[in-house]
Amino acid sequence: MGATFAISLWLSPDDPFGIGAQFPWLWLMPGVLALRYGTVLGLLAGAIVLGAWFAQVPLRAGATPGDFPQQYFLGGLVLVLLCGQFSDVWHDRLRRVREVNHYLSERLAALTRSHFLLQLSHQRIEHELLVRPVTLRDLLGELRAASTRDPGELGGASFLLQLLSQSCELESASMHRVASGRAEAEPVAHIGEAGRLVTDDPLVVAALTHDRLAHVQSDQAAADVSRYLVCAPIEASNRETLGLIAVERLPFFALNQENLQLLTVLLGYYADGLRTRSLIRGIMALRADCPIEFALELVRLHTLKRQADIESALVAFVLPRSSETQNLAGQMRRMPRSLDMVWEVETPRHVVMVNLLALSGPAAVEGFLSRIESLLRAQFETDFSQSHVAVQVAMLTDAEVEWTLDDLLVRCHVPATTTPTVAPAAASAPAQT
């Protein structure tokens, strides 16, 4: 603004503010600043123009404060406010889009890992079933069971290393906790003769810097001075590094691409299990029968609601046990969109289908219900009321997500698997029946 005013003063010494001109060119700069940076900075630039006016009054012959051009400054203020409002609205929209893209990137990373895990499991079963003591499916099942038994920060670390020694043929390795991008020297668990970590080792630095597995064949310069053969970060799908595996001894033929890929996938699955358990602890405390994938997705969408005010919803259908409604339930299982999930709960008298509608506001919920009812009319010539199907809706809010889910299931007459110790807050939208 100072440079702009100086140029204006140089071009028009008698009227640097452009009051007598056909257009107040000096106000273009506050307008541009408001468009780029928002209302606050635009108003600050306008205040500089106002300050410059009162500063130059004593320097002008015959000028008095009473000659203040009200229309000139009022018009400039309106211009800055309009530009600032436009900027603020679009900045908010861009922030919401970035939050949605971040959520979709996390979902894509999890799906990509699961797809690769499935592909790798088939390859391992086909090629190494005879030489491996257990299959990849058994390894994953044992990892999940170990995480459940040992709920520490790096729960099941010793068991994980034992599994890796069998499946990836590790002879000497250690696991270390990572905090703020640095690995602790003392091991959490180890096998063989592995001991304290050399934190400034080239392979350790490369693994933590690039967040990927590093081995001696990938960096020949590090291979000459490194104490380790392989360093692999324990990284979850949300890019959070929880720990580090440092391998000192490994059979020569075990240092191959397939074995390293298996090591990476097992560590990623283990890290996701640790992160998932901490995220869904509240839900599992109230509804222990809730599927882990459903609970994790519910927590992710609740975080998206709190951080970016992007709405999602839970829609529950309470179906009486009959042949007609069982056919309807089968149709509903095949109808979720790519981001939606369905949890089916059975009670002695009803079947409750809880649908998690991702990135869906009230209008999207109404469209979803209309689509289901259209399916009823088209295939069964009935609707919700005639088939005695009750509908319960709960929008995700800032309230604790476990109470939102529990309140919805209580309204669907689904008994709790545990007894809550704290009274739930008002966490859901009014019921729709």
pLDDT band at residue 393 under the 50/70/90 scheme: very high
pLDDT bucket at 131, cuts 50 / 70 / 90 = low
pLDDT at residue 433, as a whole number: 36
Contact 262, 279 (CB under 8 A): no
CATH number of 292-411: 3.30.70.2880
Q: Residue range 296-321: average pLDDT? A: 86
Report the 3 state secondary structure along the chain.
CHHHHHHHHHHCCCCCCCCCCCCCHHHHHHHHHHHHHCHHHHHHHHHHHHHHHHHHCCCCCCCCHHHCCHHHHHHHHHHHHHHHHHHHHHHHHHHHHHHHHHHHHHHHHHHHHHHHHHHHHHHHHHHHCCCCCCCHHHHHHHHHHHHHHCCCCCCCHHHHHHHHHHHCCCCEEEEEEEECCEECCCCCEEECCCCCCCCCCHHHHHHHHHCCCEECCCCHHHHHHCCCCEEEEEECCCCCEEEEEEEEECCHHHCCHHHHHHHHHHHHHHHHHHHHHHHCHHHHHHCCCCCHHHHHHHHHHHHHHHHHCCCCEEEEEEEECCHHHHHHHHHHHCCCCCCCEEEEEECCCEEEEEEEECCCCHHHHHHHHHHHHHHHHHHHCCCCCCCCCEEEEEECCCCCHHHHHHHHHHHCCCCCCCCCCCCCCCCCCCCCC
Lowest mean pLDDT among 360-369, 378-387, 405-414: 378-387
Question: What are the residue ranges spanned by the domains of the chain?
Answer: 1-57+66-131, 146-279, 292-411
pLDDT band at 261 (very low <50, low <70, confident <90, very high): confident
State the average pLDDT over residues 319-344: 77
Percent of the chain with pLDDT over 70: 85
For the entire predicted model, the pTM comes to 0.63
pLDDT at 24 over 90: no
- Band (pLDDT 50/70/90 cuts) for residue 98 is very high
Confidence of residue 406 (pLDDT cuts 50, 70, 90): very high
- pLDDT of 421: 37
Residue 137 in this model has a pLDDT that exceeds 50: yes
Given a cut of 90, is residue 159 above it in pLDDT? no
Kindly state the average pLDDT of the residues 106-113: 90
- Residues 6+ away with beta carbon under 8 Å from 98: none
> Does the structure show a pLDDT above 80 at 62?
no
Mean pLDDT of 64-86: 82
- On whether the CB atoms of residues 383 and 373 are closer than 8 A, the answer is yes
Computed over every residue of the chain, the mean pLDDT equals 82
pLDDT for the residue 64? 54
pLDDT reading at 151 higher than 60? no
Using an 8 Å Cβ cutoff, are 371 and 293 in contact? no
Instruction: Give the pLDDT confidence score for residue 70 in this predicted structure.
Output: 80
Q: In this structure, are residues 353 and 317 in contact, taking their beta carbons and an 8 Å threshold?
A: yes
* Highest-confidence segment of 218-222, 243-247, 356-360, 418-422: 243-247
Q: What is the pLDDT of residues 176-199, one digit of tens each?
A: 999 888 999 999 999 988 888 999
Q: Is the pLDDT of residue 44 over 80?
A: yes
pLDDT for residue 127: 63
CATH number, domain 146-279: 3.30.450.40
pLDDT at residue number 197? 92
Question: In this model, does residue 255 exceed pLDDT 90?
Answer: no
Q: Which tokens go with 193?
A: 């003769």
Confidence class of residue 129 from pLDDT cuts 50, 70 and 90?
Answer: low
Give me the pLDDT at residue 354, please. Answer: 94
Quote the pLDDT of residue 429.
Answer: 40
Q: Examine the pLDDT at 90 and tell me if it is beyond 70.
A: yes
Residue 132 has pLDDT above 80, yes or no: no
Judged against a pLDDT cut of 50, whether residue 371 lies above it is answered with: yes
